[in-house]
A and B are shown apart, each in its own frame.
Chain A
């Protein structure tokens, strides 16, 4: 029973920390509760987030605030078309050491805990792809030497959906590495008023650090222990498989508008996110509603529409919502 109490205590701490992080972020970020929740879920689960929204909605501010709340190293890279992989990963440079010239690895901005990849779709695919290894294996290999990144490590990328000139849409492989893709919406009237109050006055809210890296990793471990019943797991698998148009269980809309469905990585994402959500809801087991709640951000960038779907203006979010009921 003592051990049980320790898990219970860890779970309570998890919920407490989650609430504290949210509160602290909420001191600066107005509204966007759902976005904040989901970003936190992704961060706790060790995933990366792609934030999509028009300029000025506070995407970068959110990531800044998050970095401030967590006692973690934070770096920001503004992606531009002339950005090179070496600019973000690092490179070997020739240095004079003890009278002799040697190559020394100069670490790039990816060697951090939180990397803000601002306007990621403005960099060339070559540079975008440079992030693949860091996002999946959390390592950087240069000159035959593999450099491990610090833990926790997560990429929070932003992209602008309307300015398409001079941009390079993220390839499917890159997109699949993102845990969640979140669409940041315009705040409502009251929220916008509060934004003005908080950002244009003399006093700016002071953000204090709530959790450190260790605690974040602890939260991830606690979340991993949340149990999933076979029935719920089967439901999740069915949900993912039904996004494939060639699956017998695929509904009519999927068969008609979808070119390719979600990958097994999407199922992993779903179950990890659902576990975190279950804990935040005070449960020690995953429910169907947890899976449904995280289905859209976890699958929307992994379900690819075909030409007919694009032409009809079908939204992947609608299709996924239709699947998850």
Chain B
């Protein structure tokens, strides 16, 4: 009995081991297939983008394969009972093994149970549990192997030309943008160091400073260009705040007039050459001292006269220089009047003149300072623009059709003052004039056509026309008012025709 039991148990255990080995093989097969399929899908995504497949991506496929293997084995693994049932059916034991196993597990040891186990053990001797192992699915293994080979082979596929170019561009962008960022920061720092404390204070804009300091190199060319544009915008804003064009325009005009007079020629030349600081010094020299002579006053009067001339030749100019010059001119004229009336210039009058002159000097000095600051900013902008140009020109991109390159545009704020602009930037509505201009529409007279008039079929058409009318008039579902209207309409047409015919016959007569 024990021997038979052992035989049955051994057979069941060996058979189960064989079956589970088969299931492990199946799980490995499914895992290999899953690996191949997932790897191909993931690699397909990379290759569709033209990129070289990163070997690390195969980890995804590996994880998927491991998951499939575990799930498959957990799902199809043979338990003892399932294995016994399967072996019984596989070896056609007619539930002999199932029954014997149940007897053994339940500890049944009656005669009939022992006999059944013995007979089953005897039958099991004819079978080898290894035969129960599922056959290797060669085709599927072949397929899995092919998938894996293809998946591994795809690892060797290099980046496409476009991707290579894009990558090279990105690297170049990083390098260039880093260089530009460093240069810009250095330039800004040097500019601030170079400037006077007054100008430095004027140019130390927190927004500009932040924009420059935050600008870092990167691989995204667009982002870099956007950051550069941001800095450019800040610089432009600051430059706009330091606008001295009106002052310079006035001072140039004034210079033309001052250069004509001997007393004011030095100042005029200084203004003409844009050396406002020197011009201010010249003006300072013309201040009235306590012991000012008549010549000194005369020089001032001539200055006022030149200012007056310049005032006449200028139209719209709202500059501070003009205001201060006019004020100075007014004060000088007041002084002249006082001298004419009283023969001498009072200290109050002198003080007023000097104060007005001082204001004018200050305006000139401020203009000079603003010009210097603008010039420093322009240098910085130039440096920035150089960086922008380098960034724009990098990567082999240019003006290409289809939106692949940059476009051309106009920044109106950078136009020179005297440049003509087609509009002020606002939308313009252009309307045509009705009746004017050429038209393709031609109105052709009926008789001028190439067709030939004929009365053929006219009688039949008239009869059909009449029938339709009568049929309509006889219809029950049409209201009487409408019938009357239709009838009247046709009758009037007849009357009209008759009248035309009568007129034609009278003409003939």
Contacts and interface: CB of A to CB of B under 8 A. Distances in A.
A287 B96 CA distance: 7
B8 to A, nearest CB: 12
Interface stretch (B46-54, B113-121, B460-468): B113-121
Nearest to A228: B99
A227 B103 contact: yes
Contacts of B120: 285
A285 to B, nearest CB: 4
A227 B94 contact: no
Interface in A13-70: none
A4 B95 contact: no
A231 interface: yes
Given A1-B1, A4-B1, A11-B115, A230 B102 contact: yes
Contact of B115 (A7, A228, A229, A231): A7
A289 interface: yes
B112 interface: yes
Interface string B89-131: 0000011101110110000100111111011100000000000
A288 B103 CA distance: 17
B96 A285 contact: yes
Contact of B99 (A6, A11, A225, A285): A285
Q: Give the most central of A1, A228, A232, A283: most B CB within 10 Å.
A: A283
Given A1-B1, A283-B119, A227 B95 contact: no
A285 B121 CA distance: 13
B289 to A, nearest CB: 125
Contacts of A178: none
Contacts of A3: 111
B112 A287 contact: no
B85 interface: yes
A286 interface: yes
A79 B265 CA distance: 161
Contacts of B100: 285
A59 B496 CA distance: 115
A227 B98 contact: no
A4 B118 contact: yes
A1 B98 CA distance: 22
A132 interface: no
Contact of B94 (A7, A8, A230, A283): A283
Interface string A201-233: 000000000000000000000000111111110
Interface residues of B, number: 20
Contacts of A283: 94, 96, 116, 119
A287 B95 contact: yes
A6 B111 CA distance: 8
Nearest to A287: B94
A74 interface: no
A4 B99 contact: no
Contacts of A287: 94-96
A226 B94 CA distance: 14
A240 B1 CA distance: 35
A2 to B, nearest CB: 9
Interface in A164-222: none
Q: How large is the interface on A (under 10, 10 to 19, 20 to 34, 35 or more residues)?
A: 20 to 34
Contacts of A285: 95-96, 99-100, 116, 120
A111 interface: no
Contacts of A231: 85, 95, 98, 102
A33 B115 CA distance: 29
A287 B99 CA distance: 9
A271 B1 CA distance: 26
A233 to B, nearest CB: 10
Contacts of A228: 99
A9 to B, nearest CB: 10
A47 B85 CA distance: 32
Residue of B96, B100, B102, B115 contacting most chain A CB atoms (<10 Å): B115
A284 B95 contact: no
A227 B117 CA distance: 11
Contacts of B119: 283-284
Contacts of A6: 111
A4 B112 CA distance: 7
B439 to A, nearest CB: 82
A286 B103 CA distance: 13
A238 B1 CA distance: 33
Nearest to B96: A285
B198 to A, nearest CB: 98
A4 B102 contact: no
A284 B103 CA distance: 12
Nearest to A8: B115
A136 B217 CA distance: 102
B1 A229 contact: no
Contacts of A7: 111-112, 115
Interface core residue of B85, B96, B99, B113 (most chain A CB under 10 Å)? B99
Contacts of A232: 95, 98-99
B98 A226 contact: no
A209 to B, nearest CB: 29
Contacts of A229: 95, 98-99, 102
Contacts of A1: 1, 114
B456 to A, nearest CB: 78
Nearest to A7: B111
A241 B112 CA distance: 29
A288 B95 contact: yes
A227 B111 contact: no
B13 to A, nearest CB: 19
A231 B116 CA distance: 16
Contacts of B94: 283, 287-289
A323 to B, nearest CB: 18
Contact of A225 (B103, B112, B118): B112
Contact of B112 (A227, A230, A289): A227
Contacts of A225: 111-112
A211 B340 CA distance: 175
Contacts of B108: 227
Contacts of B112: 7, 225-227, 284
A255 to B, nearest CB: 29
B17 to A, nearest CB: 22
A227 B118 contact: no
B115 A284 contact: yes
Interface in A267-296: 283-289
Contacts of B99: 227-229, 232, 285-286
B282 to A, nearest CB: 116
Contacts of B113: 227
Nearest to A291: B95
Contacts of A8: 115
Nearest to B109: A4
A8 B118 CA distance: 11
B118 A286 contact: no
A279 to B, nearest CB: 11
Contacts of B114: 1, 4
8 contacts: A4-B114, A4-B118, A7-B111, A226-B112, A227-B108, A229-B98, A229-B99, A283-B94
Given A4-B1, A227-B108, A285-B100, 9 more contacts: A1-B114, A225-B112, A227-B103, A227-B112, A283-B116, A283-B119, A284-B116, A284-B119, A288-B94
Minimum-distance CB pairs A-B, first 9 = A287-B94, A285-B99, A229-B99, A284-B116, A7-B111, A287-B95, A225-B112, A3-B111, A4-B114
